[in-house]
Amino acid sequence: MEFESFLSLISNLDKGNLGGFHSHIKMIPKERINFSPEKILQSNPKKAAVLALFYPDLNKETKFLLTLRANYGGTHASQISFPGGKFDDSDVDLKNTALRETFEEVGIESNRIEILKQMSDTFIPPSNFLVSPFIGIHHNTPIFNFNHEVEALIEVKLSDLLNDKTIAIKKLSTSYMKNIDVPCFILNNYTVWGATAMILSEIKDLLKSL
């Protein structure tokens, strides 16, 4: 999708309804326990935020950014994710968290990013994080400068996300079970699953509803 067409599409973004759980569940394995809002609150989750950043490439095609996390030994090491991270006491709000972490991880200054919409929170049981995703745009082709937390940048065509053929089921091992069928996206030959896939599912449903 050309970036100008994308801008025209998202001019109606506020009119779209968030899919929430109905979008997330498409990317949740059947074996995973579904957590009610009450159970999530009882777990006292840590707050975090991520940014789904859309921008034009040099050919004016719309892309969004994912990152391959470096293998630092943590719960989410070597996984595919959006730029983002844990809420800091210095952050004004979660939007600020998403912007700050994006700058720290991939070098895009906050004043270059226009935040358009906050998506539904996503709970990550293994690390006990409640993640707030934001959709943002950069009106020009960004120049990225990633830090030690990022192994590689993954620039994905929006048209690939919107294509149902990129959805697959793969045998994967998760924190709660080994060798189970896990719904995922296959994007740029990477298997994208878990919370990132859940967020992408809601973004996809939202954009398709406009």
58-96 per-position pLDDT tens digit: 999 999 999 999 876 554 446 899 999 999 999 999 999
Determine which of 8-12, 31-35, 46-50, 145-149 has the lowest per-residue pLDDT on average.
31-35
69 exposure class (CB count in 10 Å sphere: 0-12, 13-18, 19+): middle
% pLDDT > 70, the chain: 94
Determine which of 104-108, 172-176, 191-195, 204-208 has the lowest per-residue pLDDT on average.
172-176
User: 6 φ, ψ to 5°?
Assistant: -65, -45
Task: Check residue 41 and give its pLDDT.
Answer: 87
Q: What is the pTM of this model?
A: 0.94
Task: Check residue 35 and give its pLDDT.
Answer: 79
Mean pLDDT of the 27-33 span? 81
135-157 per-position pLDDT tens digit: 999 999 999 999 998 999 999 99
2 exposure class (CB count in 10 Å sphere: 0-12, 13-18, 19+): middle
Instruction: Compute the distance between CA of residue 179 and CA of residue 181 in angstroms, rounded to an integer.
Output: 7
Task: Check residue 151 and give its pLDDT.
Answer: 94
**Could you give the domains of the chain?**
3-209 (3.90.79.10)
